[in-house]
């Protein structure tokens, strides 16, 4: 059964680092002043059980003003993670590209992030 919650204290620093990485990418790939505010406090977190090892993990969802899902953050039982946040905007420096989303992944020791770009139509 899923239960709504927040991240436990020991995962808050990791979650903050992940959100900061997403925000940095969003700021870099959005027009000046147009990047969304990606806030940990706005994340709706649910505690889940990893079916492989029966240990707890956490799944979070960001929603926009229309209640559409616009991002996710999953922290697994081993503290590995994957996060994404939708941008859907024209690349700020090259109109030939469209920025679909920013992503972050890794674990406590290694955090990587990038933007997903596709050719503009």
What is the residue range of 53's domain?
3-119
Contact predicate 62/41, CB 8 Å: no
DSSP state at residue 20: H
Mean pLDDT of 69-87: 96
Write the pLDDT tens digit of every residue in 23-61: 999 999 988 778 899 999 999 999 999 888 999 999 999
Number of domains in the chain: 1
CA distances from 60 to 5, 15, 80, 103 (A): 9, 10, 14, 14
Q: Give the mean pLDDT of 82-94.
A: 93
Return the structure tokens found at 66: 């229309």
Q: Are 87 and 100 in contact (CB under 8 A)?
A: yes
The full DSSP string for 30-47 is S-TT-S----GGG-EEEE
How many C-beta neighbours within 10 Å does residue 54 have?
8
Tokens of 106: 């890794």
Q: In terms of pLDDT, which residue wins out, 41 or 5?
A: 41
- pTM (2 d.p.): 0.90
């Amino acid at each position: 059964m899923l239960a709504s919650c927040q991240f436990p204290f020991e995962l808050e620093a990791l979650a903050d680092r992940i959100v900061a990485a997403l925000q940095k990418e969003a700021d870099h790939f959005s027009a000046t002043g147009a990047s969304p505010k990606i806030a940990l406090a706005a994340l709706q977190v649910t505690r889940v059980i990893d079916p492989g090892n029966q240990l707890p993990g956490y799944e979070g969802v960001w929603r926009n003003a229309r209640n559409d899902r616009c991002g996710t953050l999953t922290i697994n039982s081993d503290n590995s993670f994957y996060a994404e946040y939708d941008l859907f905007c024209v690349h700020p420096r090259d109109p030939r590209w469209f920025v679909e989303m920013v992503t972050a992944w890794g674990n406590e020791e290694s955090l990587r992030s990038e933007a997903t770009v596709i050719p503009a139509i």
